Structure 1
């Protein structure tokens, strides 16, 4: 993919208009890329959605923001059609171990607070990509420490780092999860799900603030996603609407038309 760069200086109106068009086209492209993966996931989780297995959606921030909201929309549609409770949605930034003790402590506090909010509801943890498995391991350990039952869905799974990874290199997720937990992957042996994480990196997009697709922000050592007051409201609304349209299409396909094709 060719990533465009724009000056950090105040743009002219022509540059701003060009940037807006590029952003919207990129969002549409990302949706076209992830829809087949989401399609596969929805087909897999359909029986559990219909049985009401999950009462909470937990998004792995930042890359899984839109996938988590799409999955939440699927569950919300099912809840509406069955006169059930709409699932709550939360986001947590698991980060990486090198972020230090303060970050780890905030993450532990966030998961402990989550337990107070959700009670005994079962959680559907949504992530964009599983590489080494370290993030899932960290979240799995903390969720288990707080006696939170959960399952995991990931858009894709593939080891991309290390010594000459091959197409067959994927981490075995099942040993990272407690007994009874389920794991679903949209596209195995692929890193396509990383697209959202990549696009949020400042070194790919210098004005990355405007690429905040769901209006949430994690800064400093906080593990808590809060409202991003700097996010562009028009871009945010478009990104969310395109995401909702995708989720509604998949719900119609798998739940209304009775097909997994």
Structure 2
């Protein structure tokens, strides 16, 4: 696993612009080398800002979004048209605008009987269409240190024989979710943590300080080649 690198930006707007630009640069370079990059995204406030910046900057980037494979790190197990769906926000913010076509959404309540069936189906899709590893995984971090839908103290933290698992009783609504596991998230060349706001500062400091993953799940993911924490000054204030 790679040693974490920390980048601190003045505010969330600067953070969003930098991350969007770096992502587009990496994707363009990968495609120029003949590679079809595979990325995993998650939701959250800063993620939405980044996604909007990707849409704004993409026309000048040279990235062919029909040749980028997009996965989701987690999803709310709700109806497909629910405003709680991460995929709806992500499509609205950038995927539809840039013309992404290889987008693998996690199952909704219309696609699977329950969260466990949905997780099994998504794992099968990832095995079939994945590249064996992600080029970039982009993760937000909650004030409690959770990533994707891996929450402190939950049994999903100890699953090491599955790509995706169902979650019930989530401490954040809605209560039912599907999430990639540590095993899947750690199959990434690069892991980017995207964090803004003072409310996340303690979790950032704990994760970088080597906290137990059962208390701070963000401590449990790292890229094989690169782990970068993109922070604004408020999120970095406890370091």
**TM-score (normalizing by structure 2):** 0.35
Larger Rg: 1
- Which is richer in strand? 2
- The structure richer in helix per residue is 1
TM-score (norm 1): 0.33
